Structure 1
Amino acid sequence: MPIAAEVRPNEAARLAAVRRYDILDSPPDGAFDRITALAARRLNVPIAIVSIVDEDRIWFKSHHGLPVEQIDRAPGLCASAIMGNTPYLIEDARSDPRSLANPLVAGDFGLRFYAAVPLATGDGHNLGTLCVIDKEPRSINDDQVEDLKDLASIVMDQLELRLSSLTAIGEANLMAKEIDHRVMNSLQFVSGLLAMQSRSTDVGDGATHLRLAANRVAAVAQVHRHFYADVAEEVSCIAFLRRLCADLASILDREIIVDGDEDLVPANSIQPIGLITNELVTNAAKYGAGRIDVAFRVEGESNSLAVCDEGRGLPAGFDPNAATAGLGMRVISTLANQLQGAVTAGPNTGKGGACITVQFPRSG
Structure 2
Amino acid sequence: MNALDREIIPENESQRLAAVRRHEILDTPPDGSFDRVTAMAARRFDVPISIISIVDHDRIWFKSHHGVGVEEIGRDPGLCASAILSNEAHVLVDASIDPRSLANPLVAGDFGLRFYAGVPLQTSDGFNLGTLCVIDKVPRPIEQDQIDDLKDLASLVVDQLELRLAARTAIAHAELMAREIDHRVMNSLQFVSGLLTMQSGGPASKGDASTRLKEAATRVAAVARVHRNFYSSDTEKASCLTFLTRLCGDLSDICGVAVEVSGDEGMVPTTLIQPIGLLTNELVTNAAKHGAGKINVIYRVKGDRHELSVCDQGPGVPADFDLAKSEGLGMKVVRVLAKQLGGGVQVMPNPNGRGACFQVAFAI
Task: Please state which band the TM-score falls in when normalised by the shorter chain.
Answer: 0.5 to 0.7
- Map 1:217-236 → 2, pairs under 5 A: none
Aligned length: 205
CA contact (8 A) 2:77 2:101 kept: no
2-side partners of 1:177 and 1:76: how far apart? 49
The Cα of 1:25 is off from its aligned counterpart by: 2.2
Superimposed CA distance per residue, residues 179-215 of structure 1 (whole angstroms, 9 cap, x where no aligned partner)? 1111111122223234444545659xx9xxxxxxxxx
2-side partners of 1:112 and 1:150: how far apart? 24
TM-score w.r.t. structure 2 length?
0.52
The reply on whether 1:167 has 2:166 as its aligned counterpart is: no
Distance 1:116 1:133, change over 3 A: same
Q: Structure 1 residue aligned with 2:126, among 121, 124, 127?
A: 124
Distance 1:36 1:178, change over 3 A: same
1-side partners of 2:43 and 2:71: how far apart? 21
TM-score w.r.t. structure 1 length?
0.52
Q: Which residue number in structure 1 is paired with residue 243 of structure 2?
A: none
Q: Which residue number in structure 2 is paired with residue 88 of structure 1?
A: 90
The Cα of 1:33 is off from its aligned counterpart by: 1.0
Q: Which runs of 4+ in 1 moved over 4 A?
A: 197-203
- Map 1:272-287 → 2, pairs under 5 A: none
2-side partners of 1:79 and 1:144: how far apart? 22
SS of the counterpart of 1:187? Answer: helix
1-side partners of 2:104 and 2:29: how far apart? 30
Q: Which residue number in structure 1 is paired with residue 222 of structure 2?
A: none
Distance 1:76 1:184, change over 3 A: farther
CA contact (8 A) 1:58 1:76 kept: no
Q: Structure 2 residue aligned with 1:7, among 6, 9, 17?
A: 9
CA contact (8 A) 2:51 2:65 kept: yes
- Map 1:78-117 → 2, pairs under 5 A: 78-117=80-119
1-side partners of 2:68 and 2:192: how far apart? 63
CA contact (8 A) 2:2 2:74 kept: no
2-side partners of 1:71 and 1:186: how far apart? 57
CA contact (8 A) 2:50 2:133 kept: yes
Superimposed CA distance per residue, residues 95-154 of structure 1 (whole angstroms, 9 cap, x where no aligned partner)? 111111111111122211111001112222111100011122222122211111111111
What stretches of structure 1 of length at least 5 have no aligned partner? 207-364
Superimposed CA distance per residue, residues 324-353 of structure 1 (whole angstroms, 9 cap, x where no aligned partner)? xxxxxxxxxxxxxxxxxxxxxxxxxxxxxx
Q: Which residue number in structure 2 is paired with residue 27 of structure 1?
A: 29
Q: Which residue number in structure 1 is paired with residue 76 of structure 2?
A: 74
The Cα of 1:59 is off from its aligned counterpart by: 1.4
CA contact (8 A) 1:75 1:104 kept: no
Structure number with larger C-alpha Rg: 2
1-side partners of 2:30 and 2:176: how far apart? 27
- Map 1:128-207 → 2, pairs under 5 A: 128-197=130-199, 199-200=201-202, 202=204
What stretches of structure 2 of length at least 5 have no aligned partner? 210-364
1-side partners of 2:78 and 2:197: how far apart? 69
Distance 1:112 1:3, change over 3 A: farther
2-side partners of 1:76 and 1:194: how far apart? 74
SS of the counterpart of 2:132? Answer: strand
2-side partners of 1:66 and 1:195: how far apart? 72
1-side partners of 2:194 and 2:111: how far apart? 73
CA contact (8 A) 1:35 1:151 kept: yes
The amino acid of 2:17's aligned partner reads L
2-side partners of 1:85 and 1:130: how far apart? 12
1-side partners of 2:185 and 2:68: how far apart? 53
